[in-house]
A = this chain, B = another copy of it.
Amino acid sequence: MQIALVIGSAVATIKDEKLHGRKLLLVRQTDATGEPIGPSCIAIDTVGAGAGDLVIVTEGSSARLTGQTDGAPVDMVIVGVIDSLEVGGRWTYRKQ
């Protein structure tokens, strides 16, 4: 799964009915320190994430394997909020 930073949100009034009521967050893939390295994408939040959180993002068909996205036309979902990342015995990221 990608490590990603929640940078904002998206609003879309006209959308597939299976997306109604879903929270659309803007995320960017990051490295292990939380520094963005990828383009802005839209992910469905399923864990109460918010701007500034470093999150775990699942893509593809597996993005439909949550209670909130089952059967929906989505390919990117937030499945966890990262507390910390550790590389070589040192924290590269800790949630504040």
Interface residues, chain A, with chain B CB atoms under 8 Å away: 1-3, 7-16, 18-19, 24, 26, 29, 31-32, 37, 39-43, 46-48, 51, 56, 58-66, 71-77, 79-88, 92
- Identical chains bound together, number: 5
Specify which of A9, A26, A56, A81 lies most central, judged by the most chain B CB atoms within 10 Å of its CB: A56
Contact in complex: A85, B26 (CB < 8 Å): yes
**CB <8 Å contact, A15 and B80:** yes
Selected from B12, B40, B76, the residue in CB contact (under 8 A) with A81 is B12
Known contacts A26-B32, A84-B10, A88-B8, A56 near B15 by CB under 8 Å: yes
The 9 A-B pairs with the shortest beta carbon distances in the complex, nearest first, are A15-B80, A8-B87, A12-B80, A65-B73, A32-B40, A14-B81, A16-B79, A1-B42, A11-B83
